[in-house]
Amino acid sequence: MTICELTKEHAQDFLKMQLQLDKETDNMLFEAGERPNDIERVHRNIEYTKEIGSVVLLAYKDEVCAGFALANRGTLNRVRHSAYIVIGVLEAYQSIGVGKALFCELIEWAKDNAIKRLELTVRTSNQIGISLYEKYGFEIEGVKKHAMLVNGEYVDEYYMARIL
Structure confidence at residue 26 (pLDDT): 85
Structure confidence at residue 11 (pLDDT): 95
Based on the structure, what is the number of domains in the chain? 1
Q: Is residue 111 part of a domain?
A: yes
**pTM, to two decimals:** 0.92
- Domain at 73, CATH number: 3.40.630.30
Q: Is residue 149 part of a domain?
A: no
Q: Is residue 128 part of a domain?
A: no
Q: Is residue 59 part of a domain?
A: yes
What is the arrangement of strands in the sheet containing 117-123, beginning at the earlier edge strand?
A: 2-5, 55-61, 64-73, 82-89, 117-123, 153-163, 139-150
What is the domain extent for residue 93? 2-119
Q: Is residue 124 part of a domain?
A: no
Residue 64: how many other CB atoms lie within 10 Å: 15
Q: Is residue 133 part of a domain?
A: no
Q: Is residue 163 part of a domain?
A: no
Structure confidence at residue 67 (pLDDT): 97
- 26-41: burial string, b at 16+ Cβ within 10 Å, e else: ebbeeeeeebeeeeee
Residues with pLDDT less than 50, the chain: none
Structure confidence at residue 30 (pLDDT): 83
